[in-house]
Structure 1
Amino acid sequence: MAGAGPGGCAAALALATAGADVVLVHRERPSRLPVGESLAPTARPLLEHLGVLDRVTARGHRPCYGSHSAWGQDTLTAQDHVRGPYGSGWHLDRRLFDSSLREAAHEAGARLHSGSVTAVVRTGDLWRVSVSGTEVVAPYLVDATGAGARVARRLGAGVLPTDHLVAVAAVLPGARPQSGTRRGGTERVSLIESTAFGWWYTAPLPSGHHVAMALTDPDLVARAGLRTPTGWFDALATTRHVHARLAVRGTGPPQRLSVVRAGTSRVLPTAGAGWVAVGDAASATDPIAARGITSALATGIAAASALTARADGDGQALGRYADLTSGVHDEFLRARTACYRAGRRWDTPFWTRRTD
């Protein structure tokens, strides 16, 4: 198992619970901006399936009651999670969420191995995997290395991008409360606002701060003035709803910005002889869909089922998994196009690239 994010941990946990011998390769990374901080309510049945719902949602996270958006118009529309079948979602402490999943996988029997995959060789029906100087021998590989799909590309798969969207993001101090968005004294909704160069997103963090990000294409970053903290802050101040939410007049520019890959891409194929890709390593999707973590959990569970079936003699199991992930990605692309067409107000490069 290469990678211990939500997809890799979900696959490791499901396989270990089923009795498989699992090695979960994980490399500690420097502290990063908490951009994956929201978890949709649709993740609830997946976490229940893995037996970790209470464990991973009760430790430092906060409820997310829905989202507000000014998408294609000046006024806000609201989506209320609480009225849906799964109740509220969560604003996550992402590092804590991921570590909770790793702990659960380890307690189920998965062995954690610190390092990263540096070489992969197929010998008969086995893989010989070099992990930071140590060799691991296994009949199956799971690539959970993110959108770069480092293992799948070593095995001959290709990464096919649809766009190269990036998020220019920062963490800002907690802002003044907004009427209609408070429960229990705390603001608990995400906010999206479209602009000529792309769109803005902001959400509260469990720490009390807010993450805010401008999403656009790499060649438009400088044109939109987003290269420097001051320019980014000035662009934020021109928004209507994000500006009001964050009360930016009372603060200064952030100390630093982080540029995070946020593009849509797929890996073809997502499975082959003795291997599968999960999460962003299989299908990375535009964050407008708010489905990244949920999709990672779902593909991890589906991949574990496919590998178990293949080990039991079902020679078509991995092919069905590949067909499933490809079909889901195709469906997403259609929904993505419809979403951007609904939000288009400007004949600017960002919007024409996604709607023409």
Structure 2
Amino acid sequence: MAGGGPAGAAAALTLAHSGAEVVLVHPDAPPGWRVGESLAPSARPLLERLGVLDRVGTDGHLPYYGNRSAWGRATLTASDFVRSPYGPGWHLDRRRFDASLRAAARDAGVRHRPGSVTHLTRAGNHWRATVSGAEITAPYVVDATGARARLARRTGARLVHTDHLVAVTALLPNTGQGGGGSATHENATEHTSLIESTPFGWWYTAPLPSGQLVVMAVTDADLVREAGLRTPDGWWAALGRSRHIGARLPARTRPPERLAVLRAGTSRTLPAAGPGWVAVGDAATATDPVAARGITSALSTGMAAADALTANARGDDEAIRRYAGQVTEVHTEFLHARAACYRTERRWDTPFWLRRRRPPSGPDEPHRRGTAPGPRPAADGG
């Protein structure tokens, strides 16, 4: 198991619950800057099946009551979770959330090996993986290394990119917004995600348990300079031209001292699984954050892949192939929904939006059908 994010931890937990011996390879040093993410209420059944719902609910994350968006129009519309059978979601501290899932995996008997897989070869029906100079032999490999799908590509799989979206991101103070999940419905507006489309793409903001706001300018990588988003001052000036995002910031907020550029593009790995291996999370299907499905997809693919490996070990020779087909179906349906979502914004004939109005050009491009997924964005696909 390579990668200790939500997808890798979910796969490890599911396999451990089935009685498998699991080694989770993950660096001791934390990954790059993590800025939080909104986790929708629909993730609750997945967390419950993994046995971690109580951990997440008591781990200090903020409640997440719904979404506000100015998309296709200048005024805000609301989508709340009042009628959700699962209750509110969470605005996560991602480091804490990921660490909690890994801790649950260790409690279930999963062994942790610090480092990363530097070499991988197939020997008969087993894999030989080199981790920090030591060799591990296993019948199955799970690639949870993120959108670069490092292990899947070593097996001959290829990455198919739909776009090269990035999120130019800052953390800003959220005065009066404490951590610890103490919000009530009286201040529920501050515990919603907010998205606002612009000529260069769109803005997104949400509160974090740290008492900060994450604020993102989302556009294509080659449009960052043209949009003036490369420097904190340029980014701040662009934010000042927003109508709703800037209005959510506390008074006297100062420009950020630094920015982070996060990968946010849509891609998938073809195939997403093969003899003795599976890809999960972003390594299988990475989706535009406008859908806010990154962690939910990570959890569900991790669990489904683990089920497929368990079935294969018990003699079902088609289980892994079926999993790969399921990933393809889910990703294709997302492309349909993504196209429908972006087509609802017709106010600007700028490069970002014109690209998303082009007709399908290949088998990995969306068709003109499906239900729009949002807009309900979140940071980092997980």
TM-score (norm 1): 0.96
Query: Could you list the per-position Cα deviations for residues 110-166 of structure 1 after superposition, in whole angstroms to 9, with x for gaps in the alignment?
Result: 000100000101111110000121111000000000000000001100000000000
Query: Could you list the per-position Cα deviations for residues 149-205 of structure 1 after superposition, in whole angstroms to 9, with x for gaps in the alignment?
Result: 00000110000000000000000011578xxx9635462101000000000000000
Distance 1:29 1:38, change over 3 A: farther
Q: How far apart are the structure 1 equivalents of 2:214 and 2:308?
A: 37
Q: Name the residue aligned to 1:25.
A: 25
Q: How far apart are the structure 2 equivalents of 1:96 and 1:15?
A: 22
Runs of 4 or more, structure 1, over 6 Å off, are none
Please state if 1:54 is matched with 2:54. Answer: yes
Q: Name the residue aligned to 1:232.
A: 235
Where 1:122 maps in the other structure, the secondary structure is strand
CA contact (8 A) 2:5 2:98 kept: yes
Q: Name the residue aligned to 2:196.
A: 193
Please state if 1:165 is matched with 2:165. Answer: yes
Distance 1:28 1:167, change over 3 A: farther
Q: Name the residue aligned to 1:280.
A: 282
Aligned residue type for 2:209? P
Q: How does 1:37-186 map to 2 (within 5 A)?
A: 37-175=37-175, 183=185, 185=187
TM-score (norm 2): 0.90
Where 1:24 maps in the other structure, the secondary structure is strand
Q: How does 1:172-321 map to 2 (within 5 A)?
A: 172-175=172-175, 183=185, 185=187, 187-247=190-250, 250-321=252-323
CA positional deviation for 1:31:
6.2
Q: CA RMSD in A?
A: 1.4
CA positional deviation for 1:227:
0.5
Q: Which has the larger displacement, 53-62 or 114-123?
A: 53-62
Query: Could you list the per-position Cα deviations for residues 36-85 of structure 1 after superposition, in whole angstroms to 9, with x for gaps in the alignment?
Result: 42111111000011111011231110100001000110010101013222
Q: How far apart are the structure 2 equivalents of 1:245 and 1:338?
A: 28
Q: How far apart are the structure 1 equivalents of 2:31 and 2:303?
A: 27
CA contact (8 A) 1:175 1:245 kept: no
Q: How far apart are the structure 2 equivalents of 1:321 and 1:119?
A: 25
Distance 1:242 1:324, change over 3 A: same
CA positional deviation for 1:345:
1.5
Q: How far apart are the structure 2 equivalents of 1:109 and 1:17?
A: 9
Q: How far apart are the structure 1 equivalents of 2:140 and 2:10?
A: 16
Q: How far apart are the structure 1 equivalents of 2:140 and 2:31?
A: 31
Q: Which has the larger displacement, 84-93 or 231-240?
A: 84-93
Q: How far apart are the structure 2 equivalents of 1:109 and 1:82?
A: 38
Gaps of 5+ in 1: none
CA contact (8 A) 1:168 1:258 kept: yes
CA contact (8 A) 2:35 2:93 kept: no
CA contact (8 A) 1:176 1:246 kept: no
Distance 1:311 1:31, change over 3 A: closer
Q: Name the residue aligned to 1:11.
A: 11
Q: How far apart are the structure 2 equivalents of 1:242 and 1:3?
A: 34
Query: Could you list the per-position Cα deviations for residues 90-112 of structure 1 after superposition, in whole angstroms to 9, with x for gaps in the alignment?
Result: 00111000000000011101000
CA contact (8 A) 2:36 2:214 kept: no
Q: Name the residue aligned to 2:373.
A: none
Q: Which has the larger displacement, 252-261 or 35-44?
A: 35-44
Distance 1:185 1:78, change over 3 A: closer
Aligned residue type for 2:276? G
Q: How far apart are the structure 2 equivalents of 1:147 and 1:205?
A: 24
Q: How far apart are the structure 2 equivalents of 1:176 and 1:72?
A: 31
Where 1:320 maps in the other structure, the secondary structure is helix
Q: How far apart are the structure 2 equivalents of 1:298 and 1:145?
A: 16
Q: Name the residue aligned to 2:328.
A: 326
Identity %: 66
Gaps of 5+ in 2: 178-182, 359-382
Where 1:240 maps in the other structure, the secondary structure is coil
